[in-house]
């Protein structure tokens, strides 16, 4: 038990435990365990994400913003209702491309990146521009598309023509047919709007580590589709180099989301930036870190990939600037997790209480988090 009632400030900033709890539920479970030990502690809850699933909710709720719902064209041409958000500052929009162009919107037997399009994502961007925002944050995880953002740019007024002067079709299969580009009708508001793409992958647009080779099979591309898609990407990269003077084929990160990041960079002047850095800045996390004595974070699995820019690692690096120790809770400590100790995480605790099957563990995640946070807080309180 604590020796005094000295008030401490603890920042709780976890990522989601995928397929189990969202980041807000994880945060609540951790807070419960801490307060069981010391009800006098001051808690700041700021759940985080790194540009993938959950980023929209984390930023809208974390800044007391508001949601917008829009009917847009889904990846296979059907209508879908997609959400995006306006942050609490009123000047920033946040879009998850998966809301309009995501793999989850297409049944496995209908997935076809030759036809799938990002047109709906472009419609969301256009709708956000109508709200007179000055910045648009775009999370690009979970895409169903390999069209290099062709559809999104068409929704924003760009025009692509084949050798006969016909408008290009949508989808990755149309890339190799593009003969000319007309940007005269491209939405002029893009030139005065900052576009930030939350992009943590380093894959380029082209080559053996490029978007087609690395990601297209996950989106339903069969073996005979892959050469068609790669040929289209090579063709588009050459065309852009000639027509607008941008060589994007080998730029790290342009392979993300089926090349959507490449299209946004080439045509909209988008900046590719670490997802967790975008989130931390939008949530004004530095202000909370200045006040905090301890930080609790977490994610479903921590391993060497976490150290490559995932949410807990990005938060820990930021916390290190303020001398703030970081405790990470996780469902699984994977190979290479020790690399996180060099990035500002003070200690990692598995929440498992013993041998449990994955379904058992996932069904008990909230309780396991609460109990682990309780035990860690007892250790912290010894120093008081």
Q: Say what the pLDDT of residue 150 is.
A: 96
Write out residues in the chain with pLDDT < 50, as ranges.
1-5
**What per-residue confidence (pLDDT) applies to 201?**
83
Q: How far apart are CA 33 and CA 378, in angstroms?
A: 10
For residue 347, what are the β-bridge partners?
Answer: 327
pLDDT at 1: 36
Q: Which of 196, 195, 101, 185 is nearest to 148 (CA)?
A: 101
Instruction: Please give the domain boundaries of the chain with CATH numbers for all domains.
Output: 9-48+295-381 (3.40.50.10350), 55-276 (3.90.1510.10)
Asked whether the beta carbons of 99 and 140 are under 8 A apart, the reply is no
- The radius of gyration computed from the CA coordinates of the chain, to the nearest angstrom, equals 22
pLDDT of residue 382: 67
Instruction: Give the per-residue pLDDT at 175.
Output: 97
Q: What pTM, to 2 d.p., does this model score?
A: 0.91
What order of strands is seen across the sheet that includes strand 326-333? 42-45, 9-12, 294-302, 326-333, 345-350
Alpha helices in the chain (DSSP H): 23-37, 55-62, 98-101, 119-130, 150-155, 211-215, 225-243, 260-268, 275-282, 285-291, 311-320, 358-363, 365-381
Supply 109's token pair: 């037997």
What distances in angstroms separate CA 215 from CA 33, 144, 221, 226, 230, one per listed residue? 40, 10, 9, 10, 12
Tell me, what's the pLDDT at 2?
36
Rounded CA-CA distance 188/193 in Å is 9
Neighbours of 321 (CB within 10 A): 11
Query: What is the pLDDT, as a whole number, of residue 327?
Result: 97
DSSP secondary structure letters along 74-109:
-TTSSEEEEEEEE-TTSSEEEEETHHHHBGGGS-GG
Structure tokens at 256: 């993300």
CA–CA gap between residue 371 and residue 210 (Å, rounded): 43
Closest to 171 measured CA to CA, from 99, 242, 109, 220: 220
Kindly state the tokens that stand for 339.
């690399």
Does residue 32 come out as left (phi exceeding 0), alpha (psi in the -120 to 50 range) or beta?
alpha
Beta strands at 92-96 and 180-182: parallel, antiparallel or unpaired: unpaired
Query: What is the pLDDT, as a whole number, of residue 19?
Result: 82
């Amino acid at each position: 038990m604590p020796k005094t009632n000295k008030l401490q400030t603890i920042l709780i900033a976890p990522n989601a435990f995928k397929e189990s709890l969202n980041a807000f539920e994880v945060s609540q479970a951790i807070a419960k365990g801490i307060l069981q030990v010391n009800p006098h502690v001051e808690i700041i809850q700021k759940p985080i994400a790194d540009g993938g699933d959950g980023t929209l909710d984390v930023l809208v709720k974390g800044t007391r913003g508001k949601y917008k719902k829009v009917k847009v064209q889904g990846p296979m041409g059907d209508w879908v209702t997609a959400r995006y958000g306006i942050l609490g500052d009123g000047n920033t929009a946040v879009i998850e491309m998966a809301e309009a162009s995501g793999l989850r919107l297409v049944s496995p037997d209908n997935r076809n990146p030759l036809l799938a399009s990002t047109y709906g994502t472009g419609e969301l961007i256009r709708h956000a521009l109508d709200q007179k925002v000055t910045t648009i944050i775009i999370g690009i995880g979970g895409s169903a598309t390999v069209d290099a953002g062709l559809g999104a740019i068409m929704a924003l007024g760009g025009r692509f023509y084949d050798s006969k002067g016909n408008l290009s079709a949508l989808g990755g299969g149309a890339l190799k047919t593009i003969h000319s580009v007309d940007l005269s009708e491209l939405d002029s508001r893009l030139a005065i709007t900052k576009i930030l793409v939350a992009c943590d992958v380093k894959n380029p647009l082209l080559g053996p580590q490029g978007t087609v080779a690395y990601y297209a099979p996950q989106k339903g591309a069969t073996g005979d589709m892959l050469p068609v898609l790669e040929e289209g990407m090579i063709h588009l990269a050459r065309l852009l180099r000639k027509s607008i003077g941008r060589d994007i084929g080998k730029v790290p990160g342009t392979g993300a989301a089926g090349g959507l990041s490449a299209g946004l960079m080439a045509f909209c002047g988008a900046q590719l930036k670490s997802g967790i850095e975008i989130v931390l800045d939008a949530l004004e996390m530095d202000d909370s870190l200045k006040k905090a004595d301890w930080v609790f974070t977490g994610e479903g699995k921590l391993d060497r990939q976490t150290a490559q820019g995932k949410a807990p690692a990005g938060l820990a690096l930021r916390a290190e600037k303020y001398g703030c120790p970081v405790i990470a809770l996780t469902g699984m400590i994977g190979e290479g997790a020790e690399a996180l100790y060099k990035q500002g995480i003070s200690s990692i605790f598995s929440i498992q209480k013993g041998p449990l099957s994955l379904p058992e563990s996932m069904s008990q995640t909230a309780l396991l988090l609460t109990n682990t946070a309780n035990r860690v807080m007892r250790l912290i309180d010894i120093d008081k």
